[in-house]
Protein backbone atom coordinates (compact mmCIF):
# COMPACT_ATOMS: atom_id res chain seq x y z
CA UNK A 1 0.00 0.00 0.00
CA UNK A 2 2.94 2.34 0.74
CA UNK A 3 6.70 2.03 0.77
CA UNK A 4 6.52 1.64 4.58
CA UNK A 5 3.77 -1.02 4.65
CA UNK A 6 2.92 -3.56 1.95
CA UNK A 7 -0.38 -5.45 1.56
CA UNK A 8 -1.19 -8.51 -0.54
CA UNK A 9 -4.62 -10.19 -0.39
CA UNK A 10 -5.05 -13.82 -1.42
CA UNK A 11 -8.12 -15.99 -0.83
CA UNK A 12 -9.48 -13.70 1.85
CA UNK A 13 -6.19 -13.40 3.78
CA UNK A 14 -4.38 -10.04 3.83
CA UNK A 15 -0.60 -10.31 4.20
CA UNK A 16 0.50 -7.00 5.80
CA UNK A 17 4.22 -6.36 6.25
CA UNK A 18 6.29 -3.56 7.76
CA UNK A 19 8.74 -2.67 5.02
CA UNK A 20 11.91 -1.02 6.34
CA UNK A 21 14.20 -4.06 6.48
CA UNK A 22 17.37 -1.94 6.39
CA UNK A 23 16.22 -0.28 9.66
CA UNK A 24 14.81 -3.48 11.21
CA UNK A 25 11.39 -1.96 10.46
CA UNK A 26 11.97 0.84 12.98
CA UNK A 27 9.02 3.16 13.44
CA UNK A 28 8.96 6.72 12.14
CA UNK A 29 6.11 9.14 11.42
CA UNK A 30 5.59 7.76 7.91
CA UNK A 31 5.27 4.22 9.29
CA UNK A 32 2.71 5.28 11.88
CA UNK A 33 0.63 6.96 9.20
CA UNK A 34 0.93 3.97 6.86
CA UNK A 35 -0.18 1.50 9.55
CA UNK A 36 -3.21 3.59 10.48
CA UNK A 37 -4.26 4.07 6.85
CA UNK A 38 -3.75 0.38 6.06
CA UNK A 39 -5.96 -0.69 8.93
CA UNK A 40 -8.72 1.70 7.88
CA UNK A 41 -8.58 0.41 4.30
CA UNK A 42 -8.75 -3.25 5.36
CA UNK A 43 -11.71 -2.55 7.65
CA UNK A 44 -13.67 -1.34 4.62
CA UNK A 45 -12.69 -4.33 2.44
CA UNK A 46 -15.38 -7.00 2.70
CA UNK A 47 -13.24 -9.50 0.79
CA UNK A 48 -10.69 -9.67 3.63
CA UNK A 49 -11.58 -12.26 6.26
CA UNK A 50 -8.31 -12.47 8.22
CA UNK A 51 -5.02 -10.55 8.44
CA UNK A 52 -1.41 -11.65 8.99
CA UNK A 53 0.83 -8.85 10.32
CA UNK A 54 4.61 -9.31 10.06
CA UNK A 55 7.87 -7.55 9.23
CA UNK A 56 10.22 -7.84 6.27
CA UNK A 57 13.84 -8.84 6.81
CA UNK A 58 15.51 -9.92 10.04
CA UNK A 59 13.04 -8.48 12.55
CA UNK A 60 9.38 -7.87 13.20
CA UNK A 61 10.02 -4.33 14.46
CA UNK A 62 12.92 -2.90 16.48
CA UNK A 63 10.84 -0.07 17.95
CA UNK A 64 11.14 3.65 17.37
CA UNK A 65 13.70 4.95 14.91
CA UNK A 66 17.03 5.57 16.69
CA UNK A 67 17.60 8.78 14.75
CA UNK A 68 14.97 10.60 16.79
CA UNK A 69 16.55 9.54 20.07
CA UNK A 70 20.04 10.45 18.91
CA UNK A 71 18.81 13.94 18.09
CA UNK A 72 17.21 14.19 21.53
CA UNK A 73 20.46 13.17 23.24
CA UNK A 74 22.33 15.94 21.46
CA UNK A 75 19.70 18.66 21.67
CA UNK A 76 18.87 18.41 25.37
CA UNK A 77 15.60 18.99 27.15
CA UNK A 78 12.55 20.86 26.07
CA UNK A 79 11.64 19.14 22.81
CA UNK A 80 7.89 18.77 22.88
CA UNK A 81 6.92 20.12 19.49
CA UNK A 82 3.83 18.00 18.94
CA UNK A 83 0.88 17.58 21.27
CA UNK A 84 0.53 13.84 21.75
CA UNK A 85 -2.64 14.31 23.79
CA UNK A 86 -4.44 15.63 20.70
CA UNK A 87 -7.04 13.34 19.13
CA UNK A 88 -8.75 13.40 15.77
CA UNK A 89 -12.54 13.73 15.91
CA UNK A 90 -14.10 10.39 16.78
CA UNK A 91 -10.78 8.84 17.88
CA UNK A 92 -9.70 7.79 21.38
CA UNK A 93 -6.06 7.58 20.26
CA UNK A 94 -3.24 9.73 18.96
CA UNK A 95 -1.43 8.70 15.77
CA UNK A 96 1.10 6.38 17.43
CA UNK A 97 -1.63 4.67 19.44
CA UNK A 98 -3.88 4.37 16.40
CA UNK A 99 -1.11 2.53 14.53
CA UNK A 100 -1.59 -0.21 17.15
CA UNK A 101 -5.24 0.10 18.14
CA UNK A 102 -6.42 -0.03 14.52
CA UNK A 103 -5.67 -3.77 14.51
CA UNK A 104 -7.80 -4.36 17.60
CA UNK A 105 -10.58 -2.23 16.10
CA UNK A 106 -10.38 -4.10 12.80
CA UNK A 107 -13.47 -6.33 12.43
CA UNK A 108 -11.37 -9.15 10.96
CA UNK A 109 -9.06 -11.26 13.16
CA UNK A 110 -5.40 -10.18 13.09
CA UNK A 111 -2.52 -12.62 13.66
CA UNK A 112 0.96 -11.19 14.33
CA UNK A 113 3.88 -13.31 13.10
CA UNK A 114 6.87 -12.25 15.21
CA UNK A 115 10.49 -13.10 14.42
CA UNK A 116 13.76 -11.42 15.36
CA UNK A 117 13.21 -8.34 17.51
CA UNK A 118 9.92 -6.91 18.75
CA UNK A 119 11.04 -4.09 21.02
CA UNK A 120 9.23 -1.14 22.56
CA UNK A 121 6.76 0.19 20.02
CA UNK A 122 7.34 -2.89 17.91
CA UNK A 123 6.12 -5.13 20.71
CA UNK A 124 3.11 -2.88 21.21
CA UNK A 125 2.17 -3.30 17.54
CA UNK A 126 2.24 -7.07 18.04
CA UNK A 127 0.08 -6.66 21.15
CA UNK A 128 -2.53 -4.93 19.00
CA UNK A 129 -3.15 -8.20 17.16
CA UNK A 130 -5.68 -10.76 18.35
CA UNK A 131 -3.20 -13.66 18.21
CA UNK A 132 0.61 -13.69 18.36
CA UNK A 133 2.70 -16.53 16.91
CA UNK A 134 6.40 -16.07 17.72
CA UNK A 135 9.68 -17.71 16.85
CA UNK A 136 11.16 -19.44 19.92
CA UNK A 137 14.31 -17.31 19.66
CA UNK A 138 12.48 -14.01 19.06
CA UNK A 139 13.47 -11.15 21.39
CA UNK A 140 10.68 -9.14 22.99
CA UNK A 141 10.91 -6.22 25.42
CA UNK A 142 8.90 -3.37 26.92
CA UNK A 143 11.94 -1.23 26.20
CA UNK A 144 10.58 2.27 26.89
CA UNK A 145 11.84 2.39 30.48
CA UNK A 146 15.43 2.25 29.17
CA UNK A 147 14.79 5.56 27.42
CA UNK A 148 13.23 7.14 30.49
CA UNK A 149 9.75 6.78 29.00
CA UNK A 150 6.61 4.66 29.40
CA UNK A 151 4.73 2.42 26.96
CA UNK A 152 2.40 4.90 25.28
CA UNK A 153 1.05 3.03 22.23
CA UNK A 154 -1.86 1.30 24.06
CA UNK A 155 0.64 -1.11 25.62
CA UNK A 156 -0.35 -0.59 29.25
CA UNK A 157 -3.90 -1.79 28.63
CA UNK A 158 -2.77 -4.75 26.51
CA UNK A 159 -0.12 -5.92 28.99
CA UNK A 160 -2.54 -5.99 31.91
CA UNK A 161 -5.08 -7.85 29.80
CA UNK A 162 -2.62 -10.50 28.60
CA UNK A 163 -0.21 -11.24 31.46
CA UNK A 164 -1.81 -9.74 34.56
CA UNK A 165 -0.83 -6.75 36.66
CA UNK A 166 2.23 -8.14 38.44
CA UNK A 167 3.95 -9.58 35.36
CA UNK A 168 3.09 -6.46 33.35
CA UNK A 169 4.75 -4.32 36.00
CA UNK A 170 7.86 -6.50 36.12
CA UNK A 171 8.28 -6.32 32.34
CA UNK A 172 7.64 -2.56 32.29
CA UNK A 173 9.74 -1.58 35.32
CA UNK A 174 12.80 -3.57 34.21
CA UNK A 175 12.71 -3.34 30.40
CA UNK A 176 13.96 -6.92 30.44
CA UNK A 177 14.25 -8.76 27.12
CA UNK A 178 12.60 -12.18 26.97
CA UNK A 179 12.60 -14.94 24.37
CA UNK A 180 9.66 -16.02 22.28
CA UNK A 181 9.45 -19.23 24.29
CA UNK A 182 9.24 -17.26 27.54
CA UNK A 183 6.64 -14.96 25.99
CA UNK A 184 4.42 -17.98 25.35
CA UNK A 185 4.99 -19.27 28.88
CA UNK A 186 3.80 -16.03 30.53
CA UNK A 187 0.93 -15.44 28.11
CA UNK A 188 2.43 -12.55 26.14
CA UNK A 189 2.32 -14.69 22.98
CA UNK A 190 -0.17 -17.33 21.90
CA UNK A 191 2.20 -20.05 20.70
CA UNK A 192 5.64 -20.58 19.19
CA UNK A 193 6.56 -21.84 15.72
CA UNK A 194 9.86 -22.21 13.90
CA UNK A 195 8.30 -20.38 10.93
CA UNK A 196 5.82 -17.98 12.53
CA UNK A 197 4.71 -16.43 9.23
CA UNK A 198 3.81 -19.81 7.72
CA UNK A 199 1.98 -20.83 10.89
CA UNK A 200 0.10 -17.52 11.02
CA UNK A 201 -0.91 -17.82 7.36
CA UNK A 202 -2.21 -21.35 7.89
CA UNK A 203 -4.28 -20.22 10.87
CA UNK A 204 -5.61 -17.21 8.94
CA UNK A 205 -6.78 -19.47 6.12
CA UNK A 206 -8.57 -21.70 8.61
CA UNK A 207 -10.35 -18.68 10.11
CA UNK A 208 -11.20 -17.34 6.64
CA UNK A 209 -13.05 -20.59 5.92
CA UNK A 210 -15.63 -19.84 8.62
CA UNK A 211 -18.64 -17.54 8.42
CA UNK A 212 -17.26 -13.98 8.20
CA UNK A 213 -20.30 -12.60 10.01
CA UNK A 214 -19.89 -15.03 12.90
CA UNK A 215 -16.14 -14.41 13.14
CA UNK A 216 -16.59 -10.62 13.17
CA UNK A 217 -19.37 -10.88 15.73
CA UNK A 218 -17.26 -13.12 17.95
CA UNK A 219 -14.31 -10.70 17.84
CA UNK A 220 -16.55 -7.76 18.70
CA UNK A 221 -18.06 -9.58 21.68
CA UNK A 222 -14.71 -10.81 23.00
CA UNK A 223 -13.18 -7.34 22.70
CA UNK A 224 -16.17 -5.82 24.46
CA UNK A 225 -15.82 -8.27 27.34
CA UNK A 226 -12.12 -7.50 27.79
CA UNK A 227 -12.01 -3.73 27.27
CA UNK A 228 -12.60 -1.20 30.04
CA UNK A 229 -12.22 2.57 29.82
CA UNK A 230 -9.75 2.56 26.94
CA UNK A 231 -10.26 6.23 26.06
CA UNK A 232 -9.21 7.33 29.53
CA UNK A 233 -6.32 4.86 29.65
CA UNK A 234 -4.91 5.96 26.29
CA UNK A 235 -5.18 9.65 27.18
CA UNK A 236 -3.36 9.04 30.47
CA UNK A 237 -0.59 7.25 28.55
CA UNK A 238 -0.18 10.34 26.39
CA UNK A 239 -0.20 12.75 29.33
CA UNK A 240 2.40 10.74 31.23
CA UNK A 241 4.68 10.45 28.22
CA UNK A 242 4.29 14.16 27.49
CA UNK A 243 5.44 14.97 31.02
CA UNK A 244 8.48 12.69 30.69
CA UNK A 245 9.64 13.42 27.16
CA UNK A 246 12.44 15.96 27.06
CA UNK A 247 12.70 16.17 30.86
CA UNK A 248 16.21 16.18 32.42
CA UNK A 249 15.90 12.59 33.66
CA UNK A 250 14.72 11.32 30.29
CA UNK A 251 17.43 13.12 28.32
CA UNK A 252 20.05 11.76 30.74
CA UNK A 253 18.70 8.22 30.17
CA UNK A 254 19.13 8.64 26.41
CA UNK A 255 22.64 10.09 26.72
CA UNK A 256 23.69 7.31 29.09
CA UNK A 257 22.41 4.72 26.64
CA UNK A 258 24.53 6.07 23.80
CA UNK A 259 27.53 6.58 26.10
CA UNK A 260 27.16 2.98 27.35
CA UNK A 261 27.17 4.02 31.01
CA UNK A 262 24.67 3.96 33.88
CA UNK A 263 22.46 7.07 33.97
CA UNK A 264 23.15 9.67 36.64
CA UNK A 265 20.71 9.58 39.52
CA UNK A 266 18.68 12.74 39.28
CA UNK A 267 15.96 13.99 41.58
CA UNK A 268 12.40 12.98 40.93
CA UNK A 269 10.71 15.42 38.60
CA UNK A 270 7.63 17.29 39.70
CA UNK A 271 6.13 16.54 36.31
CA UNK A 272 5.25 12.99 37.32
CA UNK A 273 4.28 13.51 40.95
CA UNK A 274 0.63 12.59 41.58
CA UNK A 275 -1.49 14.98 43.66
CA UNK A 276 -1.43 14.28 47.38
CA UNK A 277 -4.50 12.24 48.35
CA UNK A 278 -6.90 13.73 50.86
CA UNK A 279 -6.84 12.11 54.29
CA UNK A 280 -9.70 9.88 55.31
CA UNK A 281 -10.40 12.08 58.30
CA UNK A 282 -10.81 15.11 56.07
CA UNK A 283 -13.11 13.22 53.70
CA UNK A 284 -15.20 11.69 56.48
CA UNK A 285 -15.62 14.78 58.70
CA UNK A 286 -16.21 18.11 56.99
CA UNK A 287 -15.11 21.20 58.90
CA UNK A 288 -17.47 23.75 60.34
CA UNK A 289 -17.37 25.97 57.26
CA UNK A 290 -18.72 23.15 55.05
CA UNK A 291 -21.60 22.01 57.29
CA UNK A 292 -25.02 22.85 55.89
CA UNK A 293 -27.00 22.41 59.15
CA UNK A 294 -26.11 23.23 62.77
CA UNK A 295 -25.98 20.44 65.28
CA UNK A 296 -29.32 19.69 66.96
CA UNK A 297 -29.34 20.38 70.69
CA UNK A 298 -31.61 18.92 73.33
CA UNK A 299 -34.05 21.46 74.76
CA UNK A 300 -34.41 19.77 78.19
CA UNK A 301 -31.17 18.22 79.32
CA UNK A 302 -31.46 15.62 82.10
CA UNK A 303 -30.94 16.71 85.67
CA UNK A 304 -27.51 15.91 87.03
CA UNK A 305 -27.31 14.60 90.59
CA UNK A 306 -24.00 14.28 92.38
CA UNK A 307 -23.65 10.94 94.12
CA UNK A 308 -22.23 11.41 97.59
CA UNK A 309 -20.14 8.31 98.00
CA UNK A 310 -16.58 7.88 99.25
CA UNK A 311 -15.51 6.90 95.72
CA UNK A 312 -16.95 10.02 94.13
CA UNK A 313 -15.69 12.20 96.94
CA UNK A 314 -12.20 10.92 96.18
CA UNK A 315 -12.85 11.70 92.47
CA UNK A 316 -15.03 14.82 92.48
CA UNK A 317 -15.04 14.99 88.67
CA UNK A 318 -17.17 11.86 88.36
CA UNK A 319 -20.91 12.22 88.05
CA UNK A 320 -23.78 10.18 86.81
CA UNK A 321 -26.87 11.34 84.97
CA UNK A 322 -30.23 10.38 86.42
CA UNK A 323 -33.58 11.34 84.96
CA UNK A 324 -35.60 13.69 87.18
CA UNK A 325 -38.92 12.32 88.39
CA UNK A 326 -41.69 14.90 88.70
CA UNK A 327 -43.02 15.43 92.23
CA UNK A 328 -39.94 14.17 93.93
CA UNK A 329 -37.37 16.22 95.70
CA UNK A 330 -33.72 15.64 95.78
CA UNK A 331 -32.81 12.16 96.86
CA UNK A 332 -31.52 11.98 100.40
CA UNK A 333 -28.26 10.20 101.04
CA UNK A 334 -28.62 6.71 102.42
CA UNK A 335 -27.64 6.40 106.09
CA UNK A 336 -25.83 3.47 107.57
CA UNK A 337 -28.01 1.73 110.19
CA UNK A 338 -26.83 2.08 113.78
CA UNK A 339 -25.78 -1.00 115.72
CA UNK A 340 -28.39 -2.17 118.31
CA UNK A 341 -27.65 -1.63 121.96
CA UNK A 342 -26.72 -4.77 123.87
CA UNK A 343 -27.77 -5.06 127.52
CA UNK A 344 -24.97 -5.73 129.89
Percent of the chain with pLDDT over 90: 47
Average pLDDT over residues 217-229: 80
Name the DSSP letter for residue 268. P
pLDDT at 329: 58
List, edge to edge, every strand of the sheet that includes 50-55.
5-10, 13-18, 50-55, 110-114, 131-134, 191-192
Q: What is the CATH number of domain 211-259?
A: 1.10.12.10
Question: Is the separation of the CB atoms in 96 and 32 below 8 Å?
Answer: yes
Phi, psi of 317 (to 5 degrees): -75, -15
Domain 5-68+92-207 matches domain 211-259 at the CATH topology level: no
Catalytic positions = 144
pLDDT band of residue 286 (cuts 50, 70, 90) is: very low
Where are the chain's structural domains?
Answer: 5-68+92-207, 211-259
Average model confidence (pLDDT) across the chain: 80
pLDDT per position as a tens digit, 201-217: 999 999 999 989 889 98
> In the predicted model, what is the mean pLDDT of residues 254-268?
79
Is residue 313 pLDDT above 90, yes or no? Answer: no
Q: Which one has a higher pLDDT value, 291 or 107?
A: 107
Q: What is the pLDDT of residue 189?
A: 99
Give the range among 76-90, 164-178, 286-300 with minimum mean pLDDT.
286-300
30 neighbors 96 (Cβ within 8 angstroms): no
Query: Looking at the predicted structure, is the pLDDT value of residue 283 above 60?
Result: no
The class of domain 5-68+92-207 in CATH terms is alpha beta
Instruction: Note the maximum CA span of the chain.
Output: 133
| Average pLDDT of span 323-335 | 57
Confidence of residue 268 (pLDDT cuts 50, 70, 90): low
pLDDT in tens, 78-126: 444 456 667 777 777 888 889 999 999 999 999 999 999 999 999 999 9
Pairwise CA distance, residues 43 & 60, whole Å:
22
- CB-based contacts of 298-301 (< 8 A; 24+ apart in sequence): none
Amino acid sequence: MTDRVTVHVHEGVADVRLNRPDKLNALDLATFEALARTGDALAADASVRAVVLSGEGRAFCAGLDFAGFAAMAGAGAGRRADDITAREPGRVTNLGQQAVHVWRELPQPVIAAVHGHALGGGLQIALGADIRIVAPDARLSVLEIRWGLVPDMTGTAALIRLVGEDVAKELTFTGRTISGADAVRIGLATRAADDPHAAATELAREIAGNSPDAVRGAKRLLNRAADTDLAGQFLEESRTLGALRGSPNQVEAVRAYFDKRPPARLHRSRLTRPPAPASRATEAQPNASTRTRPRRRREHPPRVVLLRSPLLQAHPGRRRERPHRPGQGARQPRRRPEAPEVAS
